[in-house]
Chains A and B, each alone.
Chain A
Amino acid sequence: MQETELWLTKIFNDYLAAPGNWFLHIAGLPTQARPWADFITMQVLVVAIIVLLAAILRGRLSFDRPGKLQHIFELIFEFVHGQTEDQMGHGGVKYMGFFATIFLFVLISNLIGLIPGLEAPTMNPSVPAGCAVATFLYYNLVGVQANGILKYLAHFAGPVWWLAWLMIPIEIVSHLARPLSLTIRLYANMFAGEKVTMVFLGLTYFAVPAVFMGLHLFVALLQAYIFMLLTMIYVAGATAHEH
């Protein structure tokens, strides 16, 4: 039970408590008086922002005279597309949808933490864990889809067959460590950023922690990029064909 709520969470809890309890009910969890948590409403806000931007963009796409929004999205597309081709070559472009989704979601989630009155949902450990589990499932499923389940499991055994007894436990542990490290990296960066700002707010004058918020902005961008880059590397590793 949290002590304070953001204004958005307060609105959700006051008017939409019944749908919130319905979600809890179908998950088998006990219903509560104020079911919406901060990080859930912030995630809903992030999804709403992305859908709204995409809807506005779709109406304004133009080949001859692109507007500012189209330019921004073209930049983002070029960036993700370039990174995908760097990591995975030409064949990787069919996985670009997931990479761009992860990038936009993590980026906007991190950035709304800088706006006063809103909180980054990635500050709660569940949200990076959800992204990391989604990435884990995605790269395993894509690896099975690209290589077939037998060949995919066979590549855990390493390059030569007589090292398989050593390679399989090492590969399994390293594969399980991937979602863990993705989660903790994103969560710790966001959590530490806010904590450091709060600590310095208590220590010195009012505007000094703005420096830390500037650093936090850079870290937010960087962590979103790193999450996407690692996802690409894992998918590249899973779909590598031994030619």
Chain B
Amino acid sequence: MTKKTMLLVALLFIATPMLFAQDANTAAQTKAWTAIGAGFAMAIASGLCGLAQGKAVAGATEAMARNPGAIGAIRIMLILGLALIESLALYTLIIVLK
């Protein structure tokens, strides 16, 4: 690492306690930060879940188009895959709602 990088990393180490030291957090502040964190968590989970399900549906429709004889089997796999991916986003929703 160059000297500049080392200097920046050292400054970061020194500054960390100052950045993260909190005065007595009121209950309202904790609630506010929890809500913001929950919003971010749910957004990330839903976004990634959307991407993954999109990929699953794309693969499934392409396979069905290539091989119309296997539509039944592919449909079962698609539904199963979508439900499993959906459940990952739902785990985050449970944390958010509780």
Contact of B80 among A191, A192, A229 (CB under 8 A): A229
Which residues in B have their C-beta under 8 angstroms from that of A5?
Answer: none
A-B contact pairs, 16 of them (CB 8 A): A86-B73, A86-B76, A184-B87, A184-B91, A185-B86, A188-B87, A188-B91, A188-B94, A191-B94, A192-B90, A192-B97, A195-B97, A223-B83, A226-B79, A226-B80, A230-B80
Which of B73, B76, B90, B91 has its CB near the most chain A CB atoms (within 10 A)? B90
* Known contacts A86-B76, A192-B90: A185-B97 contact under CB 8 Å: no
Question: Cα distance A226–B87 when bound, in Å?
Answer: 11
Query: Do residues B83 and A222 form an inter-chain contact, with CB atoms below 8 A?
Result: yes
Judge if B93 is at the interface, Cβ distance under 8 Å: yes
Query: Do residues A226 and B76 form an inter-chain contact, with CB atoms below 8 A?
Result: no
* Known contacts A192-B97, A195-B97: A184-B83 contact under CB 8 Å: no
* Known contacts A222-B83, A223-B83, A226-B83: A188-B76 contact under CB 8 Å: no
Interface residues of B (CB under 8 A from A): 73, 76, 79-80, 83, 86-87, 90-91, 93-94, 97
8 further A-B pairs in the complex, CB-CB below 8 A; given A184-B94, A192-B97, A222-B83: A86-B76, A184-B91, A185-B83, A188-B93, A191-B97, A192-B93, A225-B79, A226-B79
Q: Which residue on chain B has the smallest CB distance to residue A229?
A: B80
Query: Do residues A189 and B90 form an inter-chain contact, with CB atoms below 8 A?
Result: yes
Question: Cα distance A229–B87 when bound, in Å?
Answer: 15
Which residues in A have their C-beta under 8 angstroms from that of B97?
Answer: 191-192, 195
Judge if A174 is at the interface, Cβ distance under 8 Å: no
Q: Which residue on chain B has the smallest CB distance to residue A223?
A: B83
Which residues in B have their C-beta under 8 angstroms from that of A126?
Answer: none
Question: Cα distance A56–B86 when bound, in Å?
Answer: 38
- Cβ of B45 to closest chain A Cβ, rounded Å: 12
Judge if A101 is at the interface, Cβ distance under 8 Å: no
Which of B79, B87, B91, B93 has its CB near the most chain A CB atoms (within 10 A)? B87
Which residues in A have their C-beta under 8 angstroms from that of B91?
Answer: 184, 188
Query: Do residues A185 and B79 form an inter-chain contact, with CB atoms below 8 A?
Result: no
Which residues in B have their C-beta under 8 angstroms from that of A187?
Answer: 94
Question: Cα distance A188–B88 when bound, in Å?
Answer: 10
- Cβ of B70 to closest chain A Cβ, rounded Å: 13
Judge if A181 is at the interface, Cβ distance under 8 Å: yes
Which residues in B have their C-beta under 8 angstroms from that of A86?
Answer: 73, 76
Question: Cα distance A230–B81 when bound, in Å?
Answer: 11
Which residues in B have their C-beta under 8 angstroms from that of A181?
Answer: 87
Question: Cα distance A185–B82 when bound, in Å?
Answer: 12
Question: Cα distance A9–B15 when bound, in Å?
Answer: 59
Question: Cα distance A229–B79 when bound, in Å?
Answer: 10
Which residues in B have their C-beta under 8 angstroms from that of A222?
Answer: 79, 83
Question: Cα distance A181–B83 when bound, in Å?
Answer: 11
Question: Cα distance A222–B94 when bound, in Å?
Answer: 19
Query: Do residues A188 and B83 form an inter-chain contact, with CB atoms below 8 A?
Result: no
